[in-house]
Amino acid sequence: MRIFLLLTLTLNAYAGFEVGNGGGISENNILMAYRQLAKPLKFCLDFKLCFLSDRENQVLKKIYDTLEIEYGNSHQVVFKMEKEMPKGFFRDKYGNPRLAVTFSHTGSTIYFNRQLLYFSPGGKKRDISIETAFSILIHELGHHHDEADHTFLNDLGSKVVKYSLGKKWRLSPPSIPIFTEIVNIKFDKGNVSQDLVFIHDQLKSIDLTDKIKKIMKCETPKNQLLGFEVWQGSWMRITKGFQKIKLNLRSFCYSREASILKKREGDTILIGISTSYPNESTKLQITNLDLNYIECKEDLDKCLDHRIYYNLNKLGGNL
């Protein structure tokens, strides 16, 4: 038997995490990295698997410990054109353009130079990826703790991204210019991980991670869902005007009573996507999403289910 749960989300459902005034792919990737920043920082700090020096570890801990204060600024991440700011604001002392600028105290606004979000200083076309956004944000937040060495902060951001982010893959349909992106974040010494699930159209990125976690279930209510991975995905044929994506999930549930971690494959998310070209725009946009969660309850072999048990006295950190 399988249990189906349906969650319908219109575009307005994603307006709750609007920071600054961004709108395109690069802006949205930066905002979503900002929202998820605690996860890779916690992994590096808790499990010492990111090969940080003592100095790097101290700065990263300061950043992590003050994230609550940073998030208290509802306009902490802002996107501006160079002409909107005082002359020289987005320039270094040599006159070179800068992608991001902030000040030295915790909670300071981080200003991103919109002119460099889609083109390099040399004019080459680009987008700011999720991984790059994590690295940039760590760099800028390091400045909030009196760290002025740009090379040091670049290295710190690169290490966190390299060792805390796992696989990354994209799933694109053959007929329309949208795609699903999966980025993996490790935690609990690699025994548990969390996939970040994004849907991109031609103008924006939509983070589905928390929406999927909200409707997923463990075998019993007493177990705690720690994370999930997408181990397989495919685009399905168009049905009633919807493009559909099927994501097969691997869940990580912790049993407090037995002190064990259960890893299970078998549950599925079906994502229905409506798209349009609003107001005669040439850019295809997602207008509605339907999330169907299919929980595998019985006949687990048919649900491609198997279980692996880790005997754990306790899980590291507050997961």
pTM comes to: 0.71
Question: Position 45: which residue type?
Answer: L
- Delimit the domains of the chain by residue range: 2-13+166-311, 15-165
Cα distance between residue 260 and residue 116, in whole Å: 48
Q: The domain 15-165 is classified under which CATH number: 3.40.390, 3.90.1150, 1.20.140, 1.10.1200?
A: 3.40.390
CB 239 within 8 A of CB 248: no
Pairing of strands 110-113, 77-80: parallel
pLDDT digits (tens, 9 = 90+) for 267-297: 888 888 888 877 766 777 888 888 888 887 6
Pair of tokens at residue 26: 């690069």
pLDDT digits (tens, 9 = 90+) for 30-56: 998 998 899 889 888 987 778 999 999
CB 268 within 8 A of CB 192: no
CB 178 within 8 A of CB 206: no
pLDDT digits (tens, 9 = 90+) for 59-118: 999 999 999 999 999 899 999 999 999 988 999 888 999 999 999 999 999 999 999 999
Question: Position 31: which residue type?
Answer: L
